[in-house]
Every structure is written in structure tokens, then in C-alpha cells.
Chains A and B, each alone.
Chain A
């Protein structure tokens, strides 16, 4: 797997970065992290800070754990970067995954955004105090849309802690864009957003009741802080950059340097100012210490009980069993005039399956054909095995296509030359397209 032709670098020093660097954003587009990542990307691109393309890949889902796991498991070669805020800590302490910041190489921390508590424009809640009072009087009635185990969830938990007896009804509500839709559609009553998300979504009909900062936010002077309203909660969100564990220190330092410069570019400055995000920058020990503090804070809120949802997998398995029994019963019975969808004349067998052509399907399986098929599948499996254990793609393909073709053409000599030509064309063509034009690399 290591031998990626022409792109095997990273280890041989000065060449880094020799390939495009992938930035994994573990959230859907339009959210705070995605917006931030794209601002930095533009800063890097415009100032030409990286000699290679900087590519953003959204891998949303599982409260950012799908993306973070992807990066954790990626090759630590300095080409896969993760942009993830405190969710990297909260995911662990809510029992969602068994790894936290320790499973990554910290690169840097950039930017600092405040959090706001948000309701729909027409909501009866005017202030945070009013909201929490109702949560106290009628616990577990006010729905708070969060990403379970993510910072939005922890912001809610901190509010509960700060106001004796208040209880939200936490509801899994997905990413920022999802939560706005649910808020506006009256499916949830309260949610929390980062200031940049809030600024982006405000026009859709939502209103902040509190800013969880030490002082009022310049971007939202009309929004009172939680502290002003007598609720002792301060919660900031920072964007952290991570490499998979084991990535060479030089890569981390190189990228941290690029990010530091990117934060200074005019584009980034302007856009962060628009979002009222502080252009803070931490790297190295400073960053590591900061993370340790955040981990300690998360531990005090403690482990959450798992959400109470029905056991859907078991249900699906039962339905599957019932269907299987029904199929068996159905096929035992002699079929009486099966009235298909419409008319009996249209009894073509290929209507619901992608198998094409009617007349030929019924050919009895000739044994040479079966042998050929099994042979080809075995050849394919061997081809994949070979690449898994280090045979480069081009060589494997150059062998595989002529062999497969030879097998299928009943060993006709006349085909051999064309097959070899085809294999050359495909092997080098695919290699060129995928490694030079497309970002991915080949085995």
C-alpha cells in the first residue's frame, strides 16, 4: 500500500507536501466548521501558502465521529488533516467513542467563537432566565435540539447545572442547518449555535436569548450575556486542527506555520471580522495545555446516560425473518395466474431487476461458462489481494486485463495483442487520471 508511484514522498524530507492535502470537515456544509474551513482554504489558496492543492472533504454524521474516526484511521503521512472543535473532547466523555484528543497529533488552534442560545422569532421566551425558569417548573418539557454528545449538548448541560432543577428535553437534531430548519418548523423550541452559525441563519427567523461569553459580542450587541442574566455559564468554541497519531512532527509544524500565516491574510482577517470571530492562534505546548483544561472541564459535566431509543436493528431483523418465511411459503405454493403490475401480455421477466434481455436468461448454465466465471472472479480476487499486499496498481492491471480477457475469449491468440494494448491504455490512463487530475491516490 505504501508504494504509490510518483507520489511516494513525505518520508523523504524536503518534498513535503508532494500531494494535495485533504482537510476532513466532520460536519455538513453550511455549518460553522465548514464555513471556517473554507475561509482558511481561501486564505491559503489566495496567498499561495501551500505548493499543493488544499482540498476540503465533508464527512458528516455520528456527531462528528465519522469524520474524526476517518482521520484517526488515516495514514499518518501528513496528507489528511482534521478540523474539529471541542466535539473531539465531548464525544469521548459522552461515551460515544473511546478516543479523545490523545488519539491525534495536535496541530494548532485557530479562531474563537462564542455560543448563543437561540429560539424561534415568535417564541414566548424573551430571556434565558425565563427559559430556564420554565425548564425548572416543568422539567423535561422544553425541547432542546442538540447534537448528542457534542458541544451544543454540553452547552445545554452547563445551563442545567447553572440553574438548579432545570431540565431540558434533549433531542437529536443534527448539524446547524438541520437545527435551524427544526427550530423554524416548530419541531424543537431551543437550540444553541455558534455566533458564526447564528449570523448565517438569523434571517431564517431565529432569535438569540443569550450569548455565552464573558462580555457582549461585538457582532451581536443587542444580545445579553448569560452572566448578565445571572446564569453563570461561559462557553467558547475553538477550531482545532489535528493530524492522525504518528504523523511526523515536521508535518505538524509545517501546517501550523501555514495556518498561522493564513490567519494573517487579508481575506481571513476580513471574514473572521465579519463573523466576529477572534483570530486567536495557539500551537505546540500552549495548545496542548489548553486542551488539557478543556478535557478537565468536560469530565466535571460527566458521562451522560445513553439516549432512550427503540432497538431498531432487532426490529429489522425480525421483519427480515418474517419476509423470508413469506417468500418460502409463497414459492412452495403453485403460482396461480400471477397478475403482475398491469396486463398479462407484458410479462417480461426483466421489469424489476437490472438484468437485461428476456430471451437469453433461461439458457441452462453451461459448465464451461461457470468455470469461466469462477475463474474470472478468482482472478479478480487475486488482483485485489495483490494490490492489498503492495503490488502497484499499474503492474497488477497490466497482468490482470490480458489474463481476464484471455480467459473470456477462449484463448484466442488473435486477441492477445489487443488485450495487451487495452491493458496498457487502462493501466496508465487510470493512473494518470486519478493521481494527476483527481486527488486520490492508488494502491
Chain B
């Protein structure tokens, strides 16, 4: 209960940045995945994260959402310093951070009522799950947010039977239900049909309109360029550019990204 009340309080308090990293480094053994990341995301800002494969985009969002522990640096959430030693996915959830991955955030063989609540189940004092309540809420989300019930999908459906777009819908519905202040979208449109892509893009617009913030990883430059307030470019674990889309059109952006790939060979423009 105390967590909840403190959450309410923090939600009403004003803050400039929902999340801010200072000198954040992540290393896996000897491999330095992220070096000296300084990044701040405003309370109602959509930040597009772009860069080549292996540039560290996924690692960065994992560090911000508690999946991966940074080796050094500082992290502020709602302008308050976070104890990195205690920061975890659970903590990030409690701070109302939600992540939408297409492939990597749903248990394949598990029913939707488990997938919506796993990691923060509705339980009694002994840790037993209130299945009836979880099913009821899951069905509600499916019906009200997603309109999925008409497709024969209900709380007992397993994820393995859903299409890519439906999975994405489930992950989005989950994020909406938990009323996040920061949404992290990791390549949400990969392998989706055009109609489904449009739904995801509408969702990103909804994030902006409803006063929330988002970090948006996307390979399709046209999508991020159109939707993001700011584009952060990562290359080999470092932030190499921070661009406002109005200042650079899509073509210039693409040229800039290509130039990053050949910085030493003299091919760069």
C-alpha cells in the first residue's frame, strides 16, 4: 500500500525529466556495451533511438528499465537519484515504466491472464494468485482497449496462437493498463502488416497526446522522424548525435547515418 500511495504522490509532483542518465556505462565482462551515456527524457517527450545493429540501443533501454545493471554512472527518475544497486524491473514497474517488445516480453505458452500480470500478480498474503480477478481484468483490457474479444481471443488464449500484431496489441494493452508515465517501445513495428503498423503509430501519438513520455527504437527512419520530438543516435555504445527532426529532414538524416558507418575510411561526406 505504501508503495502505491508514494506513487500517487510522485505522479502529482512536477518534474522536468521522467528519466535522466549521467555518465552511464554498461559492460558485459570485457565488452563495453555503453560508454558515458548522457541522456534526459522530458516528461512529455517522444525520443527516437536510432543506430546500427549492435550500437547499444537495446542495452540502453534495458539499463533504463532495470533489466541490465549499469557498471557506473548515475540515473535519475523524475529528477530523483536512483540507487542503481537496488534498481530492478520490479522497481521500474513500480515507478510506472512500461516496455513494449514485440517478441521478447510475452511468455509463449502462457495464457493472457498470466501474461498481463506476471511480475506483479494480484496475490493474497501467501502469494497465491487471484486468478478470477486477473482473468476479469485481462478480459476487460482485451475488450475495451483492444477490441480483441470479437476475434475469439480471451484471457485464456495462449500467446503462441496470436499473430505478431496481436502480440504487439497485448503488450500495448498491458502498458496502457498499468498507466505508465514512460513507455519504452523496442522496434514495435518490425514484421507487422501495414494496418497493424498504423495501430502502433497511433499508439505512439496517443502517448504524446496523453502527456506521457516514450523512448522509441525504430529501424524505419520515416516512422521515427515523423513521430519523435528528438532523435538520439547511438554508435558503438556512445551517443553521437541529438537531433531535432525539424532541423534535419529525412534524407539528410539517412545520409548522416550512413556517414557514421565509415568514419575512418574517408568515404564519409
Q: Are these two chains actual partners, yes or no?
A: no
